[in-house]
Chains A and B, each alone.
Chain A
């Protein structure tokens, strides 16, 4: 059965008569994919009912955009259904795209262009999901807020709403301030990968120069204070991670779209536009060391043999270096590209001895993989996630990490309910 059949939606909403219902129930039982489709429709339906019920309780927040503009005149015209409806949808989408572009502004356009021409992988340097939420109500909400909403409503979130890179970057990490002559501090930590015994986990963290302390509050801004983005302190930032194939058998960047990564796993260049003052960005790599018994269940893609390809790099390939982090950037009004290079050794640290921030970020990543039922989730469980997050809670002055712990406990209860 085609998952994109309106009949399936009708089935999920219990709108079919006895005979049709029985026929479709048979097909649903036969296909896990169709089952998931039905479940997700019911999940969204339940959340919609909750939102609409809340709206009745607080009707003053009613929508301000009237439907009347085209509802009245075209409703009975059959032409509308055959031709105008797709056009109307397209028009709405087009308007939306224009609004989106206008709000994105020139910075975002530049980033897009550079991403296209450079054909490098991109990772965000603007990590504050807060801005995205408040500056445009049509904007998608950051994944962590959506996941929390579903779980607080007693539902496990749909797979596609769980975006691990956004969840990791929802939290701020205690990276040191940049040195006076550098726009950002680079922080790399390597320790055991808690969900795959033989693997290593690499955390790369950047923190932008603090020059706007007065408007920043622990990295999260109060809505009314966001009139402008914090000043850009570097532009055309590109991060390249070169792995030493003598030391590394394979690796993968956590999050982003796993399906995309499978098609492009050798691409080890990360590229982004600007980095703003006070922004932090965190990326995690899972690495299978060379020589270790590769865990086939984790299926980490093979490393590109061409890395460490320059003569100096080749000379170093027999060293203890695990990877080299290269950062290129330009000053906000400069044309000259600066290069910062940072070789990274693996000091064989165990996960138990990793920093609290490292443990916490790993917990968030594994939580996301478990919610997505990712093929890379390894041996972790929600119980283990709780443990790691507890160990990594740190000072948690704003209570966000405590909120995460509570969320994992709720998800655990939901999982138990699902199984029983």
Chain B
């Protein structure tokens, strides 16, 4: 029953798209720094995925993130793009009406961990995203990022430690108590 198979495949593809499209997009955006290019990369990833028949595999996450990552890194290498400035985003922010203080503050606090994440070394950012946005295991992350599960453990441990140190840091407006050094 070729028709029945095709229907089942297409249905499964829809399910996988729904589940992974935005996480992959987010992942590729962090690597390329550019949403449009990330979109291309993710689309390409899904095309490969379907052509390969890999979407029959019971654990598609590792495959998808690996191919997506390679695609994103290739784009960066080809274009030698080191940094993107998303002017559209900046402009749209400037257009915004002043936000009430409390709302602004809530929003700041809501994303504060991700802003600290953005200051971590790239390798740590990558594994943190795979672990906490996509809920992958150390082993899966190791396969995707071509390293060992032990290394992934060290990276995540180091990153979490840095995060904790950062929110334990006094806000800089508060000059900390400086004890006498006698």
Contact = CB atoms under 8 A, between A and B. Distances in A.
B169 A68 contact: no
B86 to A, nearest CB: 5
B120 interface: yes
Interface string A325-357: 000000000000000000000000000000000
A16 B179 CA distance: 43
A297 interface: no
A264 B172 contact: no
A19 interface: no
Tier of interface size on chain A: 35 or more
A9 B119 contact: no
A51 interface: yes
Given A75-B146, A92-B119, A68 B32 contact: yes
Contact of B151 (A60, A81, A104, A217): A81
B89 interface: yes
Interface stretch (B7-15, B46-54, B56-64, B155-163): B155-163
A123 interface: yes
A59 B129 CA distance: 14
Nearest to B134: A52
A253 B153 contact: no
Nearest to A100: B172
A225 B31 contact: no
Interface of B: 22-23, 25-26, 29-35, 72-73, 76-77, 81-86, 89, 98-102, 104-105, 108-123, 125-126, 128-129, 131-133, 135, 137-138, 145-147, 150-151, 153-154, 156-158, 160-161, 163-164, 166-181
Interface of A: 4-10, 13, 15, 40-41, 44-45, 47-49, 51-56, 59-72, 75-76, 81, 85, 88-89, 92, 96, 100, 104, 108, 111-112, 115-116, 119-124, 126-134, 137-143, 145-146, 148-149, 158, 160-161, 163, 165-166, 169, 217, 220-225, 253, 256-257, 260-261, 263-264, 267, 272-273, 399-400, 403
Given A63-B30, A66-B81, 7 more contacts: A44-B160, A52-B114, A62-B29, A142-B173, A143-B170, A222-B99, A400-B102
